[in-house]
Structure 1
Amino acid sequence: MTGDRVTAEHIAHYRDHGFAVIENFLTAEELRGVREDLRAAVPGWVEYCDDPQAHPCPVDPGSVVGRADVTSFPFAGEHLNAFYLHPELRRFAALNAQTEDLYIEQANVLTKCRGHPRDMDQVMHCDYGNHTLAYPPDLPEYWQTAYLFYFTDVDDDHAPTAVCSWQHYPERLRVPGSFTREKRPELYEKEVKVTVPAGSVLAYSMRTFHRGTQFFADAGRIVGFLTYAPAAWKWLGIVGWSQEAIRPDFRTWIEAATPEERTLFGFPPPGHSYWTEETLEGVGARYPGMNLTPYR
């Protein structure tokens, strides 16, 4: 599988190094649409990130508590949602896991700026700590594919992600899942900073050491996270989408989505034994705008 955006070179780099940087994944027109949707999803952040001298930071960095800076799928508008469901991202995850039976276990937008609680030099870590109850083996059938989307330009001053190739830690086990600079200095010495234009994507594995870095300018950054997992393994996943189903905008999205898109979020697929006269009636009552024909 190769496409116009995820190329054979990206696939080979991911398999050899545990990550791939896909610059300018979005076309200029797509990026404009996505950024318009972001203006509604995270008000004030696009303007601030584009020109922090002319626009105030949308939040007091010191007042951010918990996950108040996280906005979950679905988002206002159609462009941003369509990007998160882009078929090439799905195909690449399917290629990695060697199955088309996938589900989306994480989909959100994060904002941060200088002085923000997340504005820190993180330690090198793998993300499996909160993405699986077990351990990520080096077996493709268990591979989760994580994507980090950059919706604003990122240079060395704008808290770039740092990632380290598998070539620099050939040991079989990724335990412990994090190391300080003092414990494993070579991970930091060999890291690559992901400095990219807006509309670019970093794909990485749960077995890949990486970290967030600090801002060195009074500025902000908008990123997105998307993670695919093989649907068969219930111990994988950072969130449960049922907790989002009480949101009016999530219900609206469920009603408008295709059956394939719903299934990516764990919704029972057409033809499943779940579908009975009772469940059809119940789902129809809960989501009155949803076309139930494919499930009958």
Structure 2
Amino acid sequence: MLTAEQMDTYRSHGWLIIPDFFSPDLEQIVADLLQIFPAPHDYWADPSRYPELQGGQFDSVRTIPTGVPLLDGLPFDHRVRDIAVQVTESNDLRLMRGGYQSKFTAAADFEQILHLDYTNHTLVVLPDEERSAMVGFFAYFTDVTTDTGPTMAVSRTHCGQLRITDTHLERDRWPQIYEHEEPLLCKAGSLLVYDYRTLHRGSALHGQSANRLTLSFAYGVAAPWHGFYSWPNRADEPAVRQLIAALTPDERVLLGFPAVGNPYWTPATIEAVGRRYPGFDGTPYRQALGAS
């Protein structure tokens, strides 16, 4: 949970950096990331061996599930969910998206314009209220310096003249806003929490042989007008079946599963879902039937 001071920072500026959030597991996380990305020394020995990480700025994104249990579990961390519940003031949340990225200097044009992320997930606009309808997270597994493509952000205190529909700001049209952007620098293991109404952008890596490892994901309040990551169209992938079987019932709800006690669950559906996802433990769902 965020402290009162942290909540004030988040509400006032639109973002908050929490140092050392993932630091206790950082060494293992980085080691596991080597299962899906090359080590920097391998990449820089011959970048031409890794064309899949070059070209478009999102070509180096690997969406969850990756098939690596520790990595696939990080977006479901109960501490993250507690923060999402706190800032949205809702217990009915969905995991909207999630993916790891390994950026290397000059592998792509990582320079973006200032933008709002909410347009990726709804056809309407976010309401103007204190609580967050959508909240994003960046977990940083390498130090974020001015040379490693820091996330740039603009505090809400400088955005009073903007409207919620000012979603993508060209630099030449909004120079007064760009004057207020700042790099969000932090140490490896830090977590960035940001409201989806916060202007931010990715920036280029300038350091020679620089590498930046991140996990980006988001939570949103469950609503018919919110669009979430489409899990069903990947449900037959082994990594997805493995993930669903490994999650707790509360974690599965974040993917759109009916909660324990929902009328959907009957002896027949529990048995069938268990056959669809080998390793799925139907005990909590069966116990709820017996208690009703």
> Normalising to structure 1: TM-score of the pair?
0.87
> How many residues align structurally?
284
**Where in structure 1 are there 5+ consecutive unaligned residues?**
none
Q: Is the 8 A contact 2:52 2:59 kept in 1?
A: no
**How far is the alpha carbon of 1:81 from its aligned partner?**
3.2
Q: Is the 8 A contact 1:125 1:178 kept in 2?
A: yes
Q: In the alignment, does 2:37 pair up with 1:43?
A: yes
Taking a change above 3 Å as real, the CA distance of residues 68 and 62 of structure 1, as seen in their structure-2 partners, is: closer
Separation of aligned partners in 2, 1:209 and 1:67: 19
Letter in 2 for 1:144: M
Separation of aligned partners in 1, 2:226 and 2:43: 42
Separation of aligned partners in 2, 1:245 and 1:66: 27
Aligned-partner SS, 2:34: helix
**How far is the alpha carbon of 1:140 from its aligned partner?**
5.0
**How far is the alpha carbon of 1:288 from its aligned partner?**
2.9
Separation of aligned partners in 1, 2:19 and 2:205: 21
Which residue matches 1:190?
A: 180
Q: Is the 8 A contact 1:74 1:249 kept in 2?
A: yes
Separation of aligned partners in 2, 1:62 and 1:70: 8
Once the two structures are overlaid, the 10-residue window that deviates more, 279-288 or 150-159, is 279-288
Separation of aligned partners in 2, 1:99 and 1:293: 27
For residue 85 of structure 1, the aligned residue among 70, 76, 80 is: 76
Letter in 2 for 1:286: R
Q: Is the 8 A contact 2:93 2:220 kept in 1?
A: yes
For residue 34 of structure 1, the aligned residue among 29, 32, 43 is: 29
Taking a change above 3 Å as real, the CA distance of residues 99 and 109 of structure 1, as seen in their structure-2 partners, is: same
Give matches, 1:87-236, under 5 Å: 87-117=78-108, 119-139=109-129, 143-171=133-161, 173-217=163-207, 218-231=209-222, 233-236=223-226
Aligned-partner SS, 1:181: coil
Taking a change above 3 Å as real, the CA distance of residues 26 and 142 of structure 1, as seen in their structure-2 partners, is: closer
Once the two structures are overlaid, the 10-residue window that deviates more, 131-140 or 144-153, is 131-140
Q: Is the 8 A contact 2:87 2:132 kept in 1?
A: no
Provide, for residues 10-32 of structure 1, a one-character-per-residue CA deviation record: whole Å limited to 9, x for no partner. 221111111111222122x3111
Q: Is the 8 A contact 1:33 1:80 kept in 2?
A: no
Taking a change above 3 Å as real, the CA distance of residues 141 and 209 of structure 1, as seen in their structure-2 partners, is: closer
Runs of 4+ in 1 over 6 A off after TM superposition: none
Separation of aligned partners in 1, 2:142 and 2:227: 27
**How far is the alpha carbon of 1:250 from its aligned partner?**
1.2
Once the two structures are overlaid, the 10-residue window that deviates more, 237-246 or 190-199, is 237-246
RMSD of Structure 2 on Structure 1 (CA)? 2.3
**How far is the alpha carbon of 1:8 from its aligned partner?**
3.1
> Normalising to structure 2: TM-score of the pair?
0.88
Separation of aligned partners in 2, 1:249 and 1:181: 41
Once the two structures are overlaid, the 10-residue window that deviates more, 234-243 or 204-213, is 234-243
Aligned-partner SS, 1:10: helix
Separation of aligned partners in 2, 1:246 and 1:76: 13
Aligned-partner SS, 2:66: coil
Separation of aligned partners in 1, 2:180 and 2:270: 55
Provide, for residues 36-94 of structure 1, a one-character-per-residue CA deviation record: whole Å limited to 9, x for no partner. 22111x231xx20xx58964446237854685422122234443234322222111111
Identity of aligned residues (%): 32
Taking a change above 3 Å as real, the CA distance of residues 282 and 64 of structure 1, as seen in their structure-2 partners, is: farther
Taking a change above 3 Å as real, the CA distance of residues 55 and 12 of structure 1, as seen in their structure-2 partners, is: farther
**How far is the alpha carbon of 1:213 from its aligned partner?**
0.9
